[in-house]
Structure formats: structure tokens, C-alpha cells
Structure 1
Amino acid sequence: MLPVSSYARKKQQLYLVLSGIFVVNALLAEIIGVKIFSANALLGIPNTIPGDLTAGVLIWPAVFITTDIINEYFGREGVLRVSFLTVALILYAFLIILLTTHLPPAAFWLDVNKVDAQGQPFNIDFAYQSIFRQGLGIITGSITAFLIGQVLDATVFQALRRITGSRMVWLRATGSTLISQLVDSFVVLFVAFYLFGNWSFEQVLRVANTNYWYKFAAAILLTPVLYLAHFLIDRYLGQEETTELQQEAAANVSV
């Protein structure tokens, strides 16, 4: 078995790397989530089935895969710790972005693009503000859904872990993701675009349904990635150290 200092160092480094991946992808997902795009147009298929998605869902699978890995090795407390930190960083990022939208634009910058590709008048400062100045509703919806989803994911994961023990990693990872994202997909759109916006309830349900089934498919398809991550982490830590860390996580021992 590795000396305590070496094990502790590897443990801290692992948590740092996983937390960094988690924070970056969660922050990016929140920033780009303001755009609603057509998956049908992207894939070149008819609009006979709902195909509208928020851009944030494209990288959200990386968030819940990382959530499950952190939960496996550092427990519910490890997940909640990085989740609360991420919320603080998201609020900080939105505040800084909001402040930049109020900066007076330089005259030469405004003159860079007087017209767009179709020859229409184009105000680059207005475009910047339209993209980055997310409304209170979107921020509130995003943060609310994120926290609810993370708490639910971490709790369900550990509940399934108590049932399955060290077996069936795929079940507790996929199961917790499917349950938490069912709530997350609806809450963020309901708060952001129904309570604070002008979407109809039917429109919220349609987009939330499409978002959820994308996340459902991604959770299933990314199962091999989850096992690959476990394999690499186990090799990095060593078998005895991995077992010890997972036992600590199951007992909710702090990092």
C-alpha cells in the first residue's frame, strides 16, 4: 500500500482534476444554454418529431458523467461541495459578463461590421448584449435546476449504491442521472421561460421532453466512458487505495 502522504496527494489531485472538468463544463453549459437550436435541421431530418434543444445539453453529459465519478470516489459530500462552488462561480461569471455589457463600445469596434452577410445593418454591440445579457429568469432557472438536479443525483446514486454495493456501476450511475435529469430538464425551462418568460406551458413541455430524451440517450451511450474512467482511476490510485476510497465515499467521509 502507498505511504499515507502519497495516497493523500493522489486523492487530492484526482478530486482537483474531476472538479475542474465538472466546473468548466457546467459553466459553459450555463453560458451557451440561452440558445435554442433545431436538432432536426442539424441532422437534416423532417420536422415531424420535436427537435428543439438548448445548446447547453450538448456538453451536459460531461457534467453528469463527472458527477457520477466524483460520487463513486468521494461520496455525496464531494459532489455537493463542488456543486455549491460551481453555483458561486456561475453567479460570478454572469455578474462579470453583465458588467461588460454596460461598457461603452469603442467607435472603431462598432464600425467593424456595419452590415451582415445579407447586407443588412448590423450593430455588433447590440448583438453582444443580446447574446450575453441573460435575463434574471434564465439565471434563476439555471441555478435552481442545477442545484435540485445535483442534490437529487447524488442522493439517488448513494441510495442505489447501498442496494448494489460495489457491483453494477452502470445502474447507479445511469439510474441517478435519468431520475435527476428528468427533474432538471423541466425545472430550468419552466422557471426561465414560463415563470419569467413568455413561453406557453406546452412549449416548455415540448422542449423539456426533447432535452430529456437527448440526455437519456447520452447517459446510455456514455456508459463505456464511465467504465473507462473507472479503469484509469483504479490504475492511477492502485487497487487497495481505490477500494479504501470507495469505502470512504460510501460512508460519506469528507475529502
Structure 2
Amino acid sequence: MITNILNDKPTKLFIAIAAFFVANALIAECIGGKIFSFEKLVGLHPSNFTIFGQSGLAFNLTCGVLLWPLEFIITDVVNEFYGPKAVRRISYIAVGLISYAFLMFYAAIQVPGADFWFGSSKSSGIDDMQIAFSGIFGQGMWIIVGSLTAFLVSQFVDVYIFHKIKKVTGDKWVWLRSTGSTVVSQLVDSFVVLFIAFKIGKGWSWQLVLAICLVNYIYKFTMAIVLTPLIYLIERRITKYFGEEVAHQMKMAAMGKGNN
């Protein structure tokens, strides 16, 4: 029985997808503390524009946004072949393990450091390793709560819209249900995390929250469009891996039209 389970192609792929989904989400959370200039990344001078009366804005984004678009692609792929229950399952697993990771980060910060360790990297320009370590892994509680809440809510929004569109389009127009669900869920994700982390947590004005939300969403919306062909590539590879018949049966079951 165990051998059959381990050799089952849909099972093997689901385990691999779930592992990558969780790892990608955790890495995105860990690197999210660094803010980078998107304009500089693509060789442009930082812009200076105004939105909602908030001036001095530019495309300064957290490094986490480099990875989050992959989460929504994976969500759509799992939706397509395994259905909404599978998406909810891997989402809960991701949130549980990310929460566990943050607890371990907090515990590691509180553990007393060895005397020699504090100044062990002065030659690299780091005067106090404890401060550096805490600065990297010690994200504020409101940011953690906001990030995890936004992740869960946006995942469920993505699932809902994806299947609403799929009921109308059937097996056609993958780009519409994938891109459509992503652009809406990314807007929800951008707003919820900023609202909880910075409106509630730090008392930012609505003007600033909405302006930064729009800047982040422009990037995420653009990436959703740019990465659409990747959905087709992944779907074709999975269909080839499963075989046409198995892939079709899984898609029907994912829509609630077959045996789950």
C-alpha cells in the first residue's frame, strides 16, 4: 500500500508542489525585511510621483514580492488539477509552518549569545551581531500578523474567483481564470497586509496606506500579466507527466464533476 502511494504520480507531484509552496512562502517572509528599488534593478532612476496626495513615492518594494507571484501561480496550478480543498490544505500548512518558524526566530533571538560572538564580525562592518541578528529575524508582531492574514485571505479569494471563472469557461481560457483570480487576490493581499501592519500597527494615515498599496499592486498586477505564459507551460508539463486521460479526470474532479 505504501509503495503504491509513493509511486502514484499525482501524489508525488502534490508533495513536491506543497513542499515548494511552503519553502517559497517561508523564504519570502524571511527576505521581506529588505526594501529594494525596482527602478534601480531595471537600470532606471528612482521616480518621484504623487498618489492620493502622497508625494515622493517610488517603486520601493520588499524583496518578498520577488517570490510571492510564484505562490499565486502554484495556487492556480493546484486549483486546476487538485481543486480548492487542496489549495486550502497547503495554505494552512504554509501558515502553520511559517508561524512555527517565527516562533523559532523569536526563541533564537532570546537565547543568550556567546561573548565572543557579539563582535565576531567587526571586520565585516557589523559591530554587534545580536543587533544584526535581531534586525533580520525579529520582524514586528503586527507585520507578522498582517502578512499571514493577508496570505490566507488572498489565497481563499484566489480560489473562489478561479473556480467561479472556470465554471463559466470550462477547460478553456486558462489565462482568464489564472490572471483574473490573481489580479483580484493580489489587490486584497496588498491592502490587508498594509492595513494590519501599518494602519493598525503603526498608525499610518489612510492616504499613505492607500498610496503604497497602489504602488505595490501595480507591480503585482504587472507580474501577473507577465507570468501568465508560465501557467500554460506548467500545465502542459503536468499533463504530459500524468497523461491526457489522468489529467482530464483530475481537472473534472477538481471542478466537482468527478470522483474526488
TM-score, normalised on structure 1?
A: 0.91
Does residue 156 of structure 1 match 2:156? no
Look up the SS of the partner of 2:117 in the other structure. Answer: helix
Is contact 2:81-2:254 (8 Å) kept?
Answer: yes
Deviation, structure 1 residue 115? 6.4
Is contact 1:7-1:237 (8 Å) kept?
Answer: no
After superposition, the Cα gap between the structure-2 partners of 1:7 and 1:87, relative to the gap in structure 1 and judged at 3 Å, is closer
Is contact 1:185-1:211 (8 Å) kept?
Answer: yes
**C-alpha distance in structure 2 between counterparts of 1:39 and 1:54, whole Å:** 10
Look up the SS of the partner of 2:61 in the other structure. Answer: strand
Look up the SS of the partner of 1:108 in the other structure. Answer: coil
Q: Note the 1:23-102 alignment, pairs <5 A.
A: 23-43=22-42, 44-49=44-49, 50-102=58-110
TM-score, normalised on structure 2?
A: 0.89
Greater RCO, CA 8 A, separation 6+: 1
Look up the SS of the partner of 2:122 in the other structure. Answer: coil
After superposition, the Cα gap between the structure-2 partners of 1:162 and 1:170, relative to the gap in structure 1 and judged at 3 Å, is same
Partner of 2:231: 226
Deviation, structure 1 residue 116? 5.8
With 12-21 and 82-91 compared, the bigger mean Cα shift is at: 12-21
Does residue 123 of structure 1 match 2:128? yes
For this pair of structures, how many residues does the alignment match? Answer: 248
After superposition, the Cα gap between the structure-2 partners of 1:183 and 1:214, relative to the gap in structure 1 and judged at 3 Å, is same
Does residue 22 of structure 1 match 2:10? no
Q: Note the 1:190-201 alignment, pairs <5 A.
A: 190-201=195-206
Is contact 1:34-1:138 (8 Å) kept?
Answer: no
Is contact 2:146-2:196 (8 Å) kept?
Answer: yes
**C-alpha distance in structure 2 between counterparts of 1:86 and 1:7, whole Å:** 22
Does residue 175 of structure 1 match 2:180? yes
**C-alpha distance in structure 2 between counterparts of 1:41 and 1:206, whole Å:** 20
With 227-236 and 195-204 compared, the bigger mean Cα shift is at: 195-204
Could you tell me which runs of 5 or more consecutive residues in structure 1 were left unpaired when the two chains were aligned: none
**C-alpha distance in structure 2 between counterparts of 1:201 and 1:131, whole Å:** 28
Letter in 2 for 1:187: V
Partner of 1:112: 120
Could you tell me which runs of 5 or more consecutive residues in structure 2 were left unpaired when the two chains were aligned: 50-57
Partner of 2:249: 244
Residues 176-234 of structure 1 deviation map (CA, whole Å, 9 limit, x = unaligned)? 00011111111101101121124333222222212111111111111111111011100
Is contact 1:52-1:207 (8 Å) kept?
Answer: no
Is contact 1:29-1:59 (8 Å) kept?
Answer: yes
Residues 96-140 of structure 1 deviation map (CA, whole Å, 9 limit, x = unaligned)? 0110001111122222233664xxx72121111112111110111
Partner of 1:203: 208
Letter in 1 for 2:239: D
Letter in 1 for 2:47: N
